[in-house]
Amino acid sequence: MSIISLITGWPGLSGFGSASTAEDVTQGIDASGLTVIVTGGASGIGLETVRVLAMRKAHVIIGARNVEAANKAKQQILQQNPSAKLDVLKLDLSSITSTTQFAQNFIALNLPLNILINNAGVMFCPFQLSEDGIEMQFGTNHLGHFLLTNLLLEKMKNTAKSTGIEGRIVNLSSIAHVHSYGHGIRFNKINEKKGYSDKRAYGQSKLANILHIKELTRRFQEEGVNITANAVHPGLIMTPLMRHSKLLMRLLRVFTFFIWKNVPQGASTTCYVALHQNLKGVSGKYFLDNNEKRPSSYARDEALAKKLWNFSEDLISSISKV
C-alpha cells in the first residue's frame, strides 16, 4: 500500500483500504457459533473489535487487566446490542501467574475456541520490570501473548478438528517493528536498563509479535493443523495505549494528521484478518490497511523466529521454576 493509498483510503487488492471500518470489512459475515478471545478488549481498538465481532454474532471473551472497566464496556455493548454474547475474564499479560490463570479459567468454561486475537499491549513506557522480572514491553506485548497462545493451542486444535472450521490467531503488531534494536532482538540484554530505549523496546516487542506468527505458521504447516496465524498493523490511532507519550503523539499528529485513523478504521484490519473468507488458508503474513504488506527483513528471518521461540520457552520455564 502506497502513502497515496493510505491518505486517500483507496482500496487495495482485498477491496478494502485505510478508510474501511471494522463494520465495512465484516459486512454480511455471520460469525454465530464462533468463540473469540480478545485480549485488551476493554478500550480502544480492542473494544471496537469486541463490539463488531459481537455484532456479527460471535461469542466474545474479553481478557482484561481492569475487570471493572471491561464490565462497563460489556454493558455499553449490551445496551446497543442486547443479544450480544460477551464474557469478561481477568488477564494481566505481564504476569505469568495471571496469564496461566486466565487460560485455566477459559478452559473451565468448556467452550470451543475458534479465534484468538492478541490485541493488548503497552507502549513507550519508561523502563520497568514486571513482577516476573521481565522488561515490561517485551513481557506484556510478546511473552504474555506467547504463553497465552501456547496454553490455548490444544483447545484451538481440538476445536478446529472437531468442527472443521479453520482456527485463526491474530497478533497486533506495528509498523514500529522496523525500529528495533540492532540484530532485531537483544536476547542477552532483554531485562537490562543500560541501553534501554522506550521506542526501540516497543519496536522489539512488535517485531517479536510478527516472528511469533511466523514460527507458529511453520509449526502448524508441519503438523497439518487447520489454524492460521497472521500479524496486523492497525495504523496510527490515538488510544489509551499512548498514555506514556501523549504529548509526543499529539505533536506528531499535527504534522501527520492525514495518515491518522479513527478507532473504527483502526480495528478494521484485525476484524478483516480474523473473519474474512479472503484469508482462508493464509498464514504467516503481515497486514496493513486490510492488505498484505511486506514486513522488515528481521521479521522475515526464519532462524530469528525459531531462536525467539526457544528463548521465550526457556525464559518462561526459568521463571516458573523460581
Burial of 173 by CB count in 10 Å (0-12 exposed, 13-18 middle, 19+ buried)? buried
Number of domains in the chain: 1
Question: Of the listed 196, 202, 272, 298, which one is catalytic?
Answer: 196
Mean pLDDT of the region 176-191: 96
- Higher pLDDT: 131 or 5? It is 131
pLDDT at 238 over 50: yes
115-171 tens-digit pLDDT: 999 999 999 999 999 999 999 999 999 999 999 999 999 999 999 999 999 999 999
Distance, in Å, from the CA atom of 300 to the CA atom of 304, rounded to the nearest integer, reads 8
Amino acid, single-letter form, for residue 49: T
Query: Hey, how many other C-beta atoms are within 10 angstroms of the C-beta on 143?
Result: 28
272 is catalytic: no
pLDDT at 249 over 70: no
**So what's the pLDDT on residue 10?**
80
28-86 tens-digit pLDDT: 999 999 999 999 999 999 999 999 999 999 999 999 999 999 999 999 999 999 999 99
Range list of β-strands (E), 104-177: 115-118, 167-172
What is the domain-level CATH number for residue 106? 3.40.50.720
**So what's the pLDDT on residue 255?**
42
Q: In the predicted model, what is the mean pLDDT of the chain? A: 92
State the residue range of the domain holding 36.
3-321
265-294 tens-digit pLDDT: 999 999 999 999 999 999 999 999 999 999
Burial of 111 by CB count in 10 Å (0-12 exposed, 13-18 middle, 19+ buried)? middle
Q: Which residues contact 233 (CB under 8 A, 6 or more apart)?
A: 173, 174, 175, 269, 286, 287, 288, 293
